[in-house]
Structures are given as C-alpha cells and as structure tokens.
A and B are shown apart, each in its own frame.
Chain A
Amino acid sequence: MIKISGKELDPKSLESQYPQGSFERSLIQAMSGSDRSYDSLAQLQFEIEMRKTTVNAARELYQSGMDFAIFRKSKCNPEYWNRASDGGFVLKDNVKPSDAILDIYQNGSYYATECATAIVIVFLKATLDVFPVELFDHVFSKITLMNWHHINPVLRSIGIMKNVKVFLPGDRMYFINPDVDPEKPEWQGENVIMLGTDSFYGHGLGIANQAAIIKELNKRRREGADESAYLLKQASQPDYKKLLEIRQAYHP
C-alpha cells in the first residue's frame, strides 16, 4: 500500500500518468506490494524518476566498454581523474564533475575497476540525469570513486544495506560468495543494481539473472568449497527525499 501524507493512494490513478507497458507502470505495481509512505506525490514521482534513471545508467554503463580490473590494476582517463594509491579515482581540480562522469560513459575503454566503484558511478550518473548540470557540479564538486568508504554525504545511504522484504528496480543489492578462492578476493561478492524482475547488472559479470550470477561466482570459489554464493535479502538506495529537497531548493 502506498500512502501520501497518510492517505492511501490508488495506484491506478498514478499508473494512468504513464504509458502502457512502461517501466514506471510496472514499478508502481511493484511498489504497491509493500507499505510505503511519502510526504507528497512529488516525492513518490521523484523516486520513480530516479529509479528509472538508475536502471538506465546501469544499462548504459554495461554498454560503455568500461573494463573490470582489481583496484591494484584499475585505470582511468587522466584528463578527468587522478588515480589514487589505493586504486580509487579522484576528480581532478578544474574539471567539471558532470563532464568527468559523462566521460566514463563516453570513453569507457579508458576505465577499469571493480564492481563497487561501478555501482557508485551508476548512482552518480542517475543523479546527474535528474539534477540540472550546474546543481550536480555544485553538489558533487569533489568525487572519489572507489568503494563504499568515499561516498559523497549526499549519496551516503547507497553504502548502507538494510533488510527489506520487497526489492525494486534501482535497488543496490549484493551477492555474497562465502567460499571464494583466497586468490580472488574481488569475487568475494558482487554488487549489483536490480534492473527488473530477476535481472541484475553487476560490473564484471554483465546483465544476468540471479541463477547465472550465482553460477559465475561459484566458479570462483576455492577448491573443495561446499557453500554456494547467494543473494542477500538486503538493499540500499539513495535518500530520494533528500535529493528531491536539494533539487527543489535549487534556484539558478
């Protein structure tokens, strides 16, 4: 059930605002299956918009040609990023953050990194798609791309996994691989974006369903392993409410 300011929303009325068979319609149906409450209709609409941009950003990153590499061997376009000694990418001074993020999508082959970094990139691109460019550049004036340590405070919640009953497209999720080969710690798990029903994007493994991702992770287990990889019943998302407030407060 979806509630707006405490009042139950008829999902059909909202669905009718979007075309038949659209991403938004199926998302609203999925959202109706769990208890969700919003302060305003705009808040709900913003979450729908951003979940859509997140899914699109994941698909586009998959097609960008960005390679998979462990942090020790990561690479980035030095025109926009400095490579840090721990393998992360630090936005260069005098570079527009929006240009630097778009460069990853346009020149993906200049980049190689692990799955956690890819997910952070996806959320930044999704935010760029819903923010005016000037606002994005102001809010994300400093970016370090690596894993969950260096997230801009505005997107901090994407690093914090919580137990949830219903998973939605645009959620970040995690496949854990408890018996991973000790020589391949990069496959101790796979950070993914849920794209739709049983469809996930994970950098290094591509777009696949749950069974296929588990199969790939199981191939990277230690000899004699007896525990399979599995999908955690946890998810994280951006703080949509906070992002909307930032966008609404922006007056160029």
Chain B
Amino acid sequence: MQNHYSEANGLLDRMLINSGNETLKASFLKIAQKSRKQAVALINHNGLRFTTLYILLPEIDGLSLYDDLIPRNQIAFTLCAKILMDLKPSADVNKQLSDNNDFIHSVLKWMFITGAKDDGLSNEFDQVLDVVASRLIRIYHDADILPELVRIIFSRNRKGFYTNDLVWALFGSRNPHIFRLIAKYLRSQRRADVELAGKLLKHAPGEENSDGTEKRPQYSMYLSWFKENQPYLYFTGEGFHQTSDPTPCCVDLGAKFLCKKISPKDRKPIEPLTEADNNHLDEFYRKKSAEEVLLARYSHHLHSVNRKQWDRWMEYPIDKQVKIAKDRLGGAS
C-alpha cells in the first residue's frame, strides 16, 4: 500500500501550525493569484496533512483546482464533498470511491492518520473523520488505526462531543484487542473516562460504584478476565443505537468449556469440532446457566494447568463434572 504521510510537513502545513486557518487560507489565495502552478505544487506536496487540505477545500473548489490535484487529493476532495454535500462533487464520485483497492485504502489512511490529531476542528471535519474511520474498519479491516480511534472517542467524550458513530465503527472492527485499549481508561483520573470505559466494557463482571449506580470492572480485574476469556469472545452487533445497555461482546461458554478458540467475528470454531466435542456440548447445554458458567470456568482452568487431568475430567458424566468443579472452585461462577 502506498504511503502518503512519510515526509516532513510542507509549507502549507507549517503555515497552518504557525499562523492558523485564516492566515493559511489568505496566503494560499495570494500564492494562487501570483502562480497557480506554485499553489498546485504546494497542495500536492507529498507530506501535506489532510487537515490542511480540508481547510483549503473551499479555496480549491473556488479556484477550480480539482483537475490539477494529485489522485490522493482528488479522492480526499471527492469523499469530503460526498459526505458534506456543500461542495461540488466530481461527476464520477461513486465510481472513484467504490473501488475497493489499495490506493483508496492508502488515501483513507492518510486522511485519518494526518487528520486525527486535529479532531474537534469543526463539526464537519469530525464527521469526515468518522466516515473515514468507519470505511477503514468496515471495508478495509484496518486494525492499525484502532489505538488512535479509541483515543479520539475518549477525547470527544470528555468534551461532550458526539461519539456514537466512532463507537459503532470501533465495535465494527470485531477485534478483541480494542478492549485492552479501552481498559486503560479505567485507570484514568478523569471521571468521564472511567465511566465511558465502564460502559464499553459491560461484558465483563464489575464492581458496584461507590454511589451504587453502575457496575464497572477494575483495571487489573478486567485484564485477568480478558486473558481468561479472550479466545472465546465474539461480537454480537449490539450498539448504543439500539439499546441503552448494549452487550457488544459475549463469552461463548460452550467454546470455553471445550477450550476451543472461536472467531470473534462470527463465533465459529477456529478448528472444526469433533463428534466427541459435539456430544460434550449437547450435555453442557442441558445444564442451567449458572452451571454452564461454572463448568466453562473450571474447564478452562484445568486445561491450562494440567492437560492430562482435563482429558480425564472431560470424559466424566456431566453431573460428575459439575460436582468436581463445585468442589474445586467452591461453586464460584
């Protein structure tokens, strides 16, 4: 994939950083009036940040520079026009953007990586970032942006800004590593961070808040829970659009009982189940929910400490398995 953001910032970026939006716009217009060629060269600089291009979109549109832009900038211009609808989109908007190829991916990544630091620039800019993040995750399955995405979500949440679409994009990654990234905010000094982290990690057991309102996991507890359950986590597709109390992720207790890893994307076992596995599962799912939790937990524990004992235990009748698990774990679930 082509890299559009490896070089040092261009002159226009430096103008933006040092003098702000309005000076950048005025300077760019002045340069274009003197030399259209120079203005085009500056905007097409390989190290240009997306933020700079975004701020200059009305000027680029007004000066009819679209045809002189390099493909990276044309794609970014077109996508912004499509999202915001107040710029003239090029005629082949949909064709340009519908191509599921490496080049579009690289442009989207440039937009996100070089634009993310300026999140909060304006409502419209943030909307563009939301869509770019969503496309990167849902179409290109790009996991590289997840840490920055989580950072933006928490940053916006502190300011009371809109986060729903980014949270939706984040869970759309169906990548369990996002939970490690979120869990870090359980240790934050900011109450807003801790509350949001608690909401996003509701799939794990938590402790009652000091005010008794909501349960949330503690950081170390969560990490140990995550380590135990990660191979068996799957995403449900639930989100805040649908319910106030979504469970975007669950533990597949059957998989945990068999100690067989599943795909977090579709809940299918990574390795096909044997006939013996299916027979064990039939028995397992006849038990009550609390016993399922107990069996899954004990099975995982035994499997990790003594594989031979686990092999023997798995061959016992299910009621004997429950009894042993209760004796060893004290009925804990």
Known contacts: A182-B169, A188-B168, A189-B242. The answer to whether A86 contacts B134 by CB under 8 A is no
**Are B135 and A159 in contact (CB-based, < 8 A)?**
no
CA distance in complex: A151, B163 (Å): 17
**Are A178 and B163 in contact (CB-based, < 8 A)?**
no
**Are A222 and B162 in contact (CB-based, < 8 A)?**
no
**Are A85 and B164 in contact (CB-based, < 8 A)?**
no
CA distance in complex: A189, B164 (Å): 13
Checking A116, A151, A183, A236 against B241 with a beta-carbon cut-off of 8 angstroms, the contacting residue is A116
**Are A84 and B160 in contact (CB-based, < 8 A)?**
yes
A174 to chain B, nearest CB (A): 5
Contacts of B160 in A (CB 8 A): 84-86
Known contacts: A183-B135, A223-B98. The answer to whether A160 contacts B243 by CB under 8 A is yes
Per-position 1/0 for B117-150, Cβ under 8 A of A: 0000001101100110011011100000000000
**Are A148 and B164 in contact (CB-based, < 8 A)?**
no
**Are B237 and A182 in contact (CB-based, < 8 A)?**
no
Checking B82, B165, B169, B245 against A159 with a beta-carbon cut-off of 8 angstroms, the contacting residue is B245
Contacts of A236 in B (CB 8 A): 243
Per-position 1/0 for A146-171, Cβ under 8 A of B: 01110100001001110000000000
Interface residue? B316 (CB, 8 A): no
Contacts of A33 in B (CB 8 A): none
**Are A188 and B245 in contact (CB-based, < 8 A)?**
no
CA distance in complex: A176, B245 (Å): 16
Contacts of B242 in A (CB 8 A): 148, 161, 174, 176, 189, 191, 232
Per-position 1/0 for B165-194, Cβ under 8 A of A: 100110010000000000000000000000
Q: Which residue of A lies closest to B82 (CB)?
A: A183
CA distance in complex: A189, B239 (Å): 10
Q: Which residue of A lies closest to B138 (CB)?
A: A182
Checking A85, A182, A188, A224 against B162 with a beta-carbon cut-off of 8 angstroms, the contacting residue is A85
Known contacts: A183-B82, A188-B168, A223-B98. The answer to whether A72 contacts B135 by CB under 8 A is no
**Are B162 and A159 in contact (CB-based, < 8 A)?**
no
Number of residues of chain B lying within 8 A (CB) of chain A = 33
**Are A185 and B245 in contact (CB-based, < 8 A)?**
no
Q: Which residue of B lies closest to A116 (CB)?
A: B241
Known contacts: A85-B159, A160-B243. The answer to whether A72 contacts B127 by CB under 8 A is yes
Per-position 1/0 for A163-199, Cβ under 8 A of B: 0000000000010101000110100110100000000
Checking B82, B164, B172, B244 against A151 with a beta-carbon cut-off of 8 angstroms, the contacting residue is B244
CA distance in complex: A18, B95 (Å): 59
**Are A182 and B131 in contact (CB-based, < 8 A)?**
yes
**Are A147 and B161 in contact (CB-based, < 8 A)?**
no
Interface residue? B225 (CB, 8 A): no
Interface residue? A202 (CB, 8 A): no
Interface residue? A97 (CB, 8 A): no
Checking B127, B139, B241, B244 against A182 with a beta-carbon cut-off of 8 angstroms, the contacting residue is B139
CA distance in complex: A147, B164 (Å): 10
Q: Which residue of A lies closest to B167 (CB)?
A: A185
Contacts of A72 in B (CB 8 A): 123-124, 126-127, 162
CA distance in complex: A135, B165 (Å): 36
Number of residues of chain A lying within 8 A (CB) of chain B = 29
Checking B131, B169, B172, B240 against A148 with a beta-carbon cut-off of 8 angstroms, the contacting residue is B240
Interface residue? A140 (CB, 8 A): no
CA distance in complex: A191, B172 (Å): 19
Contacts of A149 in B (CB 8 A): 240, 244
**Are A85 and B241 in contact (CB-based, < 8 A)?**
no
A224 to chain B, nearest CB (A): 8
Known contacts: A71-B164, A72-B127, A160-B245. The answer to whether A222 contacts B240 by CB under 8 A is no
**Are B162 and A71 in contact (CB-based, < 8 A)?**
yes
Interface residue? A87 (CB, 8 A): yes
CA distance in complex: A116, B163 (Å): 15
Known contacts: A182-B138, A183-B131, A183-B134. The answer to whether A159 contacts B243 by CB under 8 A is yes
Interface residue? B26 (CB, 8 A): no
Known contacts: A160-B245, A182-B135. The answer to whether A85 contacts B161 by CB under 8 A is yes
**Are A148 and B159 in contact (CB-based, < 8 A)?**
no
Interface residue? B70 (CB, 8 A): no
CA distance in complex: A176, B238 (Å): 9
Known contacts: A72-B127, A182-B138, A183-B135. The answer to whether A188 contacts B241 by CB under 8 A is yes
**Are A176 and B159 in contact (CB-based, < 8 A)?**
no
Contacts of B172 in A (CB 8 A): 182
Per-position 1/0 for A189-229, Cβ under 8 A of B: 10100000000000000000000000000000011100000
**Are A188 and B239 in contact (CB-based, < 8 A)?**
yes
A interface, CB within 8 angstroms of B: 71-72, 84-87, 116, 147-149, 151, 156, 159-161, 174, 176, 178, 182-183, 185, 188-189, 191, 222-224, 232, 236
Query: What are 25 A-B interface contacts by the 8 Å CB criterion?
Result: A71-B164, A72-B124, A72-B127, A72-B162, A85-B159, A86-B160, A148-B240, A148-B243, A148-B245, A156-B244, A159-B245, A160-B243, A160-B244, A160-B245, A161-B243, A174-B243, A182-B138, A182-B139, A183-B134, A185-B130, A185-B134, A185-B169, A224-B100, A232-B242, A236-B243
A161-B242, A174-B243 known, 6 other contacts, Cβ within 8 Å: A85-B159, A147-B164, A148-B242, A182-B139, A185-B134, A191-B242
Q: 10 nearest interchain CB pairs? A: A159-B244, A148-B244, A182-B134, A182-B138, A86-B162, A185-B165, A182-B135, A161-B243, A85-B160, A183-B131
